[in-house]
Structure 1
Amino acid sequence: MSRNATTWPPHPKGYFAIGAERMSKSLNLGNLMRSAHAFGASFTFTVGATYKAVEAHADTSKSQLHLPHYNWATLDDMALPGGCKLVGIELLDGAIDLPSFRHPLRAAYVLGPELGSLSEPLVERCDYVIKIPTRFCINVAMAGAIVMYDRVKSLARFADRPIGEGGP
């Protein structure tokens, strides 16, 4: 069965963006941007990053040619669209486990830096904070891809999984 590019993959309702605070490694930023492009993000962003998106060589899809990227110098500079919920992704005790989280239709997901956590002011600004149920922190770009996959799986229409093992 061939898949028509306009109907595959199924498009989730709403829109989303993804970014990171104080990003310091261009390869991680590039991987995150490439995944965001692949999963259908509306835009990507950084807050207080030391690397700019243009330096993100791992973004082989050249996402900046296809969707906006915002480099906000400070948290005060961050300007999300009206009604967009800010969702922090961090291993915090009070965070919602990702498998139990209901994704907002309009969301901007933000991850912390490679060698740290989301800043307290950013966590306070978040409407929700979620965590991926892992034993320890994983790579920023990988964490972003897991959250984007969960969003697509939750908000797009896919065929039900078969009762037994394997495919239909």
Structure 2
Amino acid sequence: MKGYFGIGAERISKPMNMGALMRTAHAFGASFVYSIDAALPVRSVYSSDTSKAIENMPYYNWDSIDDMALPRGCQIVGIELTDDAIELPEFKHPKAAAYVLGPELGNLSPQMMEKCHHIVKIPTKFCINVSLAGALVMYDRMVSMGKYDLRPIMPGGPKK
């Protein structure tokens, strides 16, 4: 699989959610993780990351959207449940992406939504946990970007 990705959250407030997101990002091979305007002590993030992801990839803790420093060509993909967002199963992931999720009790800020190159929604009836949403996005990226062969229509049958 070519390219790279990072994943983070804006205004996240629960250390265990950030730790779970970091651990999952580590498991899926993310290049970096980040938070923007996090409402939690950085030390608590480190203690809630049981896989020690931050010993294996960078963690950026930006104070504001303006402080974000992403690699050239990296597209910001907002994950938000809005009417006009692209549904995740129909989204073509960019080769270089920084996925951003909103806080536990809210949405991505209007400033972040404006900065995003794409807004994508997970087709659920209502919002789900931040770390679970991140896991679904990373899984979809891995599957849709060609790491695996297409699945057969039926066992032993032609691939769709």
Instruction: Give % identity.
Output: 58
Q: How many residues were matched structurally? A: 156
- Structure 2 unaligned regions, length at least 5: none
Q: 1:48 aligns with which of 37, 41, 66?
A: 37
Provide the secondary structure at the position in 2 that maps to 1:20. strand
Aligned to 2:85: 95
When residues 152 and 48 of structure 1 are mapped into structure 2, their CA distance, relative to the original with a 3 A threshold, is same
Say whether the 8 Å CA contact 1:30–1:53 is kept in structure 2: no
Matching of residues 62-141 of structure 1 within 5 Å: 62-141=52-131
Q: Give the aligned residue type for 1:160.
A: L
Bigger shift: residues 144-153 or 50-59: 50-59
Q: What SS is found at the alignment partner of 1:37?
A: helix
Which residue of structure 2 lines up, in the alignment, with residue 161 of structure 1? 151
Alignment correspondent of 2:21: 32
Instruction: Give the secondary-structure state (helix, strand or coil) at the position aligned to 2:48.
Output: coil
Partner AA of 2:117 in structure 1? D
**What code does the residue aligned with 1:145 have?**
A
Inter-partner Cα distance in structure 2 for 1:132 and 1:38: 20
**Following the alignment from structure 1 to structure 2, what is the Cα–Cα distance between the partners of residues 71 and 52?**
10
Residues 17 and 108 of structure 1 are in contact (CA less than 8 Å); yes or no, is this contact kept in structure 2?
A: yes
Conservation of the 8 A alpha-carbon contact between 1:52 and 1:71: no
Q: What is the Cα deviation at residue 35 of structure 1?
A: 0.3
- TM-score, normalization by structure 1: 0.88
**What letter is aligned with 1:152?**
M
In the alignment, the residues of structure 2 paired with residue 39 and residue 101 of structure 1 have an alpha-carbon distance, to the nearest angstrom, of: 19
